[in-house]
């Protein structure tokens, strides 16, 4: 090969621009920088270019070019990920394929309860399109105003409604995917039942851009709840919180749509740092829960929640509770719960663990993990909260804002080992809803069995033999 | 190779018996014949032996032996499949691996709402184990007393509760699988959230024994409904039936657990052939539906169903309806619905189509398919019924019992083409819940895109390079 690398690069960019035209290539340096860095400013990469195809056909042409030239591709949605999965490495060799121009909602079918959306559609826009036809799309995350449905699918996003509606995987019926060699797989089926071969859809969902580019999806819609009530609850132990969860499931069934947990330390942190958040209960409690019921039927929901709480108090599970019947009261509860992210950012540097356990193992785990962390770091500020109804804890440790980087990285290693070892002992997950990305890639290898890693490698090798799809992530 | 084939076979059997012992090999000729033939007596095969390992370790040893000797393996559960997927070919070279001794329920965890069952556990036993801890396992099929959970997973079984609870895929959290080379993949995770790599679980579910042997699974349990009401409804058009379905979803939400459809011809056939079934409505109606609501809460369910039906009648969707409030009345409705299988067997030879469509396309499809079938076969007796709430129709044509085999097979080909072409036009599925097996293997190739077939072949090649897992099925 006699041509120089810069020449090849300019030839590649020339061919890219022939495919996507001028609006399809990001030329502004600041804009490119925004794509090269994640929103938390934690991961910094350098791409060779940022391409924004406007259609599935353009994505396919871009992928054919990358297949031919062996240019690695990092697919990027809203760039709101938590694990660096959509940030390129620093080599300057990887292409960012942004889905930001794949914004079409191709079909809304209220009778079939489905919506067909392109990968770059914002989650909030999917929710709105559902609401316009009196339906409900339940996926709900803090970043819903800026994350894309393609990113949700790539990471199998979780959120606050998993207890009732499942993860993104459970909400998808069909996919359209551009394969690493540029072929298009049209799996956009809007069917509740289809047993005609291997679950290709599920293979691409959660694969974090390492097997192909999701360009569109058929998503499930649900009956729209017209009534909601919520309660804020204080308990003296995880065991009692768990008993309340079980009782709520028994009595309220599918109406129980959220069961969020926060420790007193988490609530205190929110009260310190979120100015307009107000304490929901008069006294301190070791554990707090935000419990929400929803129904498609107006009547009886408040009575059901109150009855459940009375029963729980009589049984000694609950110390105190406040019921929020109107929108303002419910929103005030959610403001507290959602304030935890911002409070952590303001208060310190968080060492995060995004873990999931069998729900029955939560009380013992929390006791053990608290003790184990205190043993290696007696002054640790543990901020533990999460989606308890799904067994998903964000078991974080807050370090002072001025902690030097070397101390941070040492402590991260130390605490990851302590916490993740305990998770592994109860057959839990070290990446519940935030994905593996760059953040947990090495950690994953510590805990996955050799057989499972080998199976994943085989699949990767089979579908992406040239390893051009998001190299350095997940596996 | 100087040793004769009979010698090799006897050596193979000797090594098998060393692994599983005497009770692990079926020696009785009649018993072996029962495994070699499916329950419908439609598929007849001849295996080299039937092995019944008693543990995952024994399955692993059997698979290592088969890997080494390249003996093909047909995994068999309750042998209740509809598509010949668990029947060996007639070569005498394939080994049947029966899961009938993998009958352990390893764990029931009511707080985590999970049950861990081995592959050979009967579906009815999983349901009972759930009920014992006041939980509900919703998978429900006609064959639940004899089918196994392993078979349900292998075929991603559907049934009558998919509308609310999904297919078997949606009910599984974790799997244990013995791979074609005898390695064990332990994916028995009991987690609601786990984003640590590719969805291996979903790849094995629905793969009909062509990628590995499922030996155990963690399944989801649900709050147990304590109230149920049902109605039998008569409508004059599919459009009106669809309007009733949409209204029921809107008003009853998650309480709507079944919405089954039968045409008048289907109801008539049942009345003719099922002696103790009684007409649910006084007059004839073009379309009938069985609608069921369930709830974890006692009060208000009957009023909700009655209110919905009144609203539907006022809107002109429904001609007549009977509400079943007590168990006997509900069971009488289900007796009619479930009588259709037996009625078909008694009345003739059914040419079956197990199809799924977007629900919104059902009215047009039924009109078009009726017309297209009548065009090529003016005297066709069309028996159309199914799980309308999931878009799943069993669009069958009944032939006289004395139809000669050659005429049967010609008509099957003719009608398959007519019906499946129409299904394909609306992006439907030609195998909704019964699996592909031998029955629809060739048909599948007519309708799957080259890209999708190629992806499936790649995965098969990657996970089972020696092609020893259930050859001749699915792909």
pLDDT digits (tens, 9 = 90+) for B89-141: 999 999 999 999 999 999 999 999 999 999 999 999 999 999 999 999 999 99
pLDDT digits (tens, 9 = 90+) for A314-366: 999 999 999 998 999 999 999 999 999 999 999 999 999 999 999 999 999 99
Nearest to A26 by CA among A101, A88, A103: A101
Is residue A322 located within the same domain as residue A355?
Answer: no
Does some domain include residue B56?
A: yes
Token digits of residue A121: 């559609």
Pairing of strands A256-263, A227-235: unpaired
Terminal-residue alpha carbon distance, chain A: 32
Chain A environment of B159 (Cβ under 8 Å): none
Does some domain include residue B250?
A: yes
CA distance A34 to A26: 11
pLDDT digits (tens, 9 = 90+) for B57-73: 999 999 999 999 999 99
Averaged pLDDT for residues A215-220: 98
Task: Report the pLDDT value the prediction gives residue A4, as an integer from 0 to 100.
Answer: 67
Which DSSP state fits A102?
-
Task: Report the pLDDT value the prediction gives residue B79, as an integer from 0 to 100.
Answer: 97
Is residue B142 located within the same domain as residue B169?
Answer: yes
Closest CB from B193, B223, B459 relative to A198: B459
Number of domains in chain B: 4
Q: What is the mean pLDDT of chain B?
A: 96
The 3-state DSSP class for residue B227 equals strand
Binned at pLDDT 50, 70 and 90, residue B325 comes out as confident
Chain B environment of A187 (Cβ under 8 Å): 452
Does some domain include residue B443?
A: no
Task: Report the pLDDT value the prediction gives residue A1, as an integer from 0 to 100.
Answer: 43
The 3-state DSSP class for residue A270 equals helix
CA distance B217 to chain A (A): 14
Beta strands in B270-427 (DSSP E): 287-295, 320-324, 349-351, 354-356, 381-387, 392-399
Nearest to A98 by CA among A148, A143, A64: A148
Does some domain include residue B275?
A: yes
Question: Is B3 a residue whose pLDDT tops 60?
Answer: no
Contact (CB<8Å) B356/A427: no
CA distance A233 to A281: 8
Closest CB from B300, B434, B452 relative to A185: B452
Closest CB from B184, B197, B225 relative to A451: B184
ipTM score for this prediction: 0.96
Contact (CB<8Å) B451/A170: no
Probe site for chain B from A193, A194, A443, A444 (most B CB atoms < 10 A): A193
Task: Report the pLDDT value the prediction gives residue B1, as an integer from 0 to 100.
Answer: 43
CA distance A362 to A391: 7
Closest CB from B197, B255, B358 relative to A191: B358
Is residue B328 located within the same domain as residue B243?
Answer: yes
Examine the fold and report which residue of B308, B327, B346 is the final residue of a domain before the chain moves on. Answer: B346
Chain A residue with the nearest C-alpha to that of B241: A111
Closest CB from A224, A387, A462 relative to B462: A462
CA distance A171 to chain B (A): 11
DSSP B422-458: HHHHTT-BSBSSS--TTTTHHHHHHHS-HHHHHHHHH
Boundaries of domain holding B141: 105-223
CA distance A100 to A333: 33
Contact (CB<8Å) A111/B391: no
CA atoms within 13 A on the CB side of B19: 24
Phi, psi at residue B301, to the nearest 5°?
Answer: -70, -45
Which DSSP state fits A124?
H
Question: Is A455 a residue whose pLDDT tops 50?
Answer: yes
Is residue A164 located within the same domain as residue A238?
Answer: no
Is residue B161 located within the same domain as residue B207?
Answer: yes
Instruction: Work out the percent of chain B whose per-residue pLDDT is above 90.
Output: 95
CA distance A176 to B451: 12
Contact (CB<8Å) A427/B188: yes
Contact (CB<8Å) A452/B179: no
Probe site for chain A from B178, B196, B211 (most A CB atoms < 10 A): B196
Closest CB from B203, B255, B357 relative to A198: B203
Task: Report the pLDDT value the prediction gives residue B374, as an integer from 0 to 100.
Answer: 97
Contact (CB<8Å) B200/A359: no
Examine the fold and report which residue of B223, B255, B270 is the final residue of a domain before the chain moves on. Answer: B223
Is residue B429 located within the same domain as residue B369?
Answer: yes
pTM above 0.95, yes or no: yes
Is residue A149 located within the same domain as residue A251?
Answer: no
Question: Is A5 a residue whose pLDDT tops 80?
Answer: no
Cβ–Cβ pairs < 8 A, chains A and B? 275
> Sign of the C-alpha dihedral, residues B439, B425, A134, A130?
positive
CA distance B80 to chain A (A): 17
pLDDT digits (tens, 9 = 90+) for B29-67: 999 999 999 998 989 999 999 999 999 999 999 999 999
Distances (CA, A) of A197 to B297, B415, B435, B452: 39, 23, 8, 9
Task: Report the pLDDT value the prediction gives residue B40, as an integer from 0 to 100.
Answer: 84
- CATH code: domain of residue B123: 3.30.465.10
List, in order, residues 6 or more apart from B236 with CB less than 8 Å away. B285, B286, B287, B319
Is residue B90 located within the same domain as residue B125?
Answer: no
Q: Which residue has the tokens 């072996």?
A: B32
Closest CB from A357, A392, A456 relative to B198: A456
Examine the fold and report which residue of A197, A223, A249 is the final residue of a domain before the chain moves on. Answer: A223
**What is the widest separation between alpha-carbon atoms in chain B?**
82
CA distance A295 to chain B (A): 7
Does some domain include residue B352?
A: yes
Probe site for chain B from A169, A192, A222, A432 (most B CB atoms < 10 A): A192
Is residue B119 located within the same domain as residue B202?
Answer: yes
- CATH code: domain of residue A294: 3.30.70.2190
Is residue A238 located within the same domain as residue A328?
Answer: yes
Question: Is A2 a residue whose pLDDT tops 80?
Answer: no
Residues of B31-46 as b/e, b for ≥16 C-beta within 10 angstroms? ebeebbbbbeeebebb
CA distance B97 to B1: 27
Is residue B214 located within the same domain as residue B111?
Answer: yes
CA distance B248 to B259: 9
Binned at pLDDT 50, 70 and 90, residue A3 comes out as low
Contact (CB<8Å) B198/A203: yes
Chain A environment of B435 (Cβ under 8 Å): 195
- CATH code: domain of residue B88: 3.30.43.10
Probe site for chain B from A141, A152, A198, A259 (most B CB atoms < 10 A): A198
Question: Is B417 a residue whose pLDDT tops 50?
Answer: yes
The 3-state DSSP class for residue B45 equals coil
**What is the widest separation between alpha-carbon atoms in chain A?**
82
Is residue B298 located within the same domain as residue B359?
Answer: no
Binned at pLDDT 50, 70 and 90, residue B298 comes out as confident
Contact (CB<8Å) B391/A436: no
Phi/psi region, residue A271 (left: phi>0; alpha: psi -120 to 50; beta: rest), is alpha
Phi, psi at residue A435, to the nearest 5°?
Answer: 80, 170
> Sign of the C-alpha dihedral, residues A187, A191, A196, A198?
positive
List, in order, residues 6 or more apart from B153 with CB less than 8 Å away. B119, B168, B172, B175, B204, B205, B206, B214, B217
Does some domain include residue B453?
A: no
Does some domain include residue A460?
A: no
Does some domain include residue B212?
A: yes
Chain A environment of B253 (Cβ under 8 Å): 223, 225, 254, 295-297
- C-beta of residue A35 within 8 angstroms of C-beta of residue A76: yes
């Amino acid at each position: 090969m006699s041509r120089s690398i810069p020449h090849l690069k300019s030839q590649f960019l020339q061919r890219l621009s022939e495919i996507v035209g001028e609006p399809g290539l990001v030329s502004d340096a600041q804009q490119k920088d925004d794509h090269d860095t994640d929103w938390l400013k934690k991961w910094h990469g350098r791409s060779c270019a940022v391409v924004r195809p406007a259609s599935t056909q353009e994505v396919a042409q871009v992928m054919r070019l990358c297949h031919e030239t062996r240019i690695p591709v990092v697919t990027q949605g809203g760039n709101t990920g938590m694990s660096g999965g959509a940030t390129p490495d620093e080599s300057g060799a990887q292409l960012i394929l942004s889905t930001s121009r794949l914004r079409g909602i191709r079909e809304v079918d209220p009778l079939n309860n489905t919506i067909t959306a392109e990968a770059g559609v914002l989650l909030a826009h999917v929710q709105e399109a559902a609401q316009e036809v009196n339906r409900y799309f339940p996926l709900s995350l803090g970043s819903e105003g800026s994350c894309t449905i393609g990113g949700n699918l790539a990471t199998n996003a979780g959120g606050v409604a998993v207890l009732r509606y499942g993860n993104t995987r459970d909400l998808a019926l069909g996919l359209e995917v551009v394969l690493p060699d540029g072929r298009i797989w049209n799996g956009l089926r809007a069917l509740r039942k289809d047993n005609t071969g291997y679950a290709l859809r599920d293979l691409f969902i959660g694969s974090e851009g390492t097997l192909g580019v999701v360009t569109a999806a058929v998503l499930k819609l649900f009956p729209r709840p017209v009534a909601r009530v919520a309660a804020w609850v204080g308990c003296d132990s995880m065991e009692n919180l768990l008993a309340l969860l079980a009782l709520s499931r028994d009595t309220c069934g599918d109406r129980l749509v959220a069961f969020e947990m926060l420790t007193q330390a988490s609530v205190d942190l929110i009260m310190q740092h979120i100015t307009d958040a107000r304490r929901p209960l008069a006294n301190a409690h070791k554990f707090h829960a935000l419990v929400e019921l929803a129904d498609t039927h107006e009547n009886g929901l408040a009575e059901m929640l109150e009855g459940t709480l009375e029963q729980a108090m009589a049984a000694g599970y609950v110390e105190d509770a406040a019921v929020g019947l109107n929108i303002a009261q419910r929103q005030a509860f959610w403001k507290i719960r959602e304030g935890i992210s911002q409070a952590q950012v303001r208060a310190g540097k968080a060492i995060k663990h995004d873990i999931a356990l069998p729900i029955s193992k939560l009380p013992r785990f929390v006791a053990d993990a608290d003790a184990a962390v205190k043993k290696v770091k007696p002054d640790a500020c543990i901020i533990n909260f999460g989606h308890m109804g799904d067994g998903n804890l964000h078991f974080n440790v807050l370090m002072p804002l001025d902690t030097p980087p070397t101390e941070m990285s040492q402590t991260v290693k130390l605490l990851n080992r302590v916490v993740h070892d305990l998770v592994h002992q109860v057959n839990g997950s070290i990446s519940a809803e935030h994905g593996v990305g760059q953040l947990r890639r090495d950690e994953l290898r510590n805990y996955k069995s050799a057989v499972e890693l080998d199976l994943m490698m085989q699949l990767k090798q089979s579908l992406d033999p040239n390893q051009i799809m998001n190299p350095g992530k997940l596996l």
